[in-house]
Amino acid sequence: MEKLVEDLYMCIGKNVANARKEANMSQLELSLRMGYKSVSVISGAEVFYKKKHFNLEHLVKISKILEIDICELIATSSP
């Protein structure tokens, strides 16, 4: 079960990275708009570094900032 959850976190990280890049936004800009002073939260969670991952609050903020449906961030397969 742990592998399933880790795979989900990795997929969400990739989805966030892709959405952020499509919006032509840097990790720093997204971090600042979320209220952080560095890219560590975004950069770590996008690649699941040391098991860092986005939580629901992060995903809600990201969806609002990037103006996309939160479902696009948690989708596990491409349309």
Over residues 25-77, the pLDDT tens digits come to 999 999 999 999 999 999 999 999 999 999 999 999 999 999 999 999 999 87
CB contact at 8 A, 74 and 36: no
Return the pLDDT at 70.
97
Instruction: In whole angstroms, give the CA distance from residue 52 to residue 13.
Output: 10
Within-domain flag for 77: no
- Averaged pLDDT for residues 4-16: 96
Cβ-in-10-Å burial (0-12, 13-18, 19+) of 46 comes to buried
Q: Which residue has the tokens 């209220």?
A: 35
Instruction: In whole angstroms, give the CA distance from residue 27 to residue 29.
Output: 6
Higher local confidence (pLDDT), 79 or 10: 10
Q: How many CA atoms lie less than 13 Å away from 36 in the CB half-sphere?
A: 15
Within-domain flag for 79: no
Domain range for 28: 2-72
Specify the number of domains making up the chain.
1
pTM score, whole prediction: 0.93
